[in-house]
Amino acid sequence: MSSSIRTVGFIGTGLMGLPMAKNILSKKYKLNVWNRTAGKTLELQKKGAKVFKDIKDLVQNSKVIVSMLANDDVCKAILIKKIQPYLKKGQIVIDMSSTTQNTALEIGKALKKKKVFFLDAPVSGGTIGAEKGTLAIMVGGDKKIFNVVMPILKAWVLQFMLVKLDVAKLQN
């Protein structure tokens, strides 16, 4: 798997997701964006992001998909119900939301059925860290996949810790 991925899909452009997505654009990645509230994507669109009205189209046009969502229910609704049906073998989903361990495991199990790689990567550092690109993350998942996406994550993450678990929630 090539580590030269240049297009990133991003789901969730709220308080944390918006500055994270801006940092991706600032590092010259192409950015595909979807948000439940379409108006929250306008700033990114003005900066060059491609905004999708249908999440299915984002999934079909993104090898790597990052999510930064509000809570467990939203994560399950979007990552399992909305995107899982359209995911293809070999795609990578990185969930950076603050969810419970059970939710992360449930999402990981659902995505594994499609032979999709899942990284659970909760963030620490708040909105200021997201704006400055200085977030810290603890990542649960496959080390090879983590290494593939590391250059992308460096757009908004300063400190990394890979844990040898399916999820990083035990570290949270």
Per-residue pLDDT of the chain (172 residues; tens, 9 = 90+): 445 799 999 999 999 999 999 999 999 999 999 999 999 999 999 999 999 999 999 999 999 999 999 999 999 999 999 999 999 999 999 999 999 999 999 999 999 999 999 999 999 999 999 999 999 999 999 999 999 999 999 999 999 988 866 766 544 4
- At residue 2, the pLDDT reads 43
Evaluate whether 44 touches 51 at the Cβ level (below 8 Å). yes
Instruction: Specify the pTM.
Output: 0.94
- CA–CA separation, 129 and 83 (whole Å): 28
- Cα–Cα dist 92/163, whole Å: 17
* For the chain, domain boundaries: 7-171
pLDDT for the residue numbered 168: 67
Determine the pLDDT at residue 172.
Answer: 43
Contact 55/11 with Cβ under 8 angstroms? yes
Closest CA to 83 of 29, 40, 91: 91
Spatial contact of 148 and 90, defined as CB atoms under 8 Å apart = no
Fold of 7-171: Rossmann fold (3.40.50)
| Collapsed DSSP state (helix, strand, coil) of residue 22 | helix
pLDDT of residue 171: 46
| Spatial contact of 96 and 64, defined as CB atoms under 8 Å apart | no
Residue 21 CB contacts under 8 Å (≥ 6 apart), including other chains: 10, 13, 31, 33, 44, 49
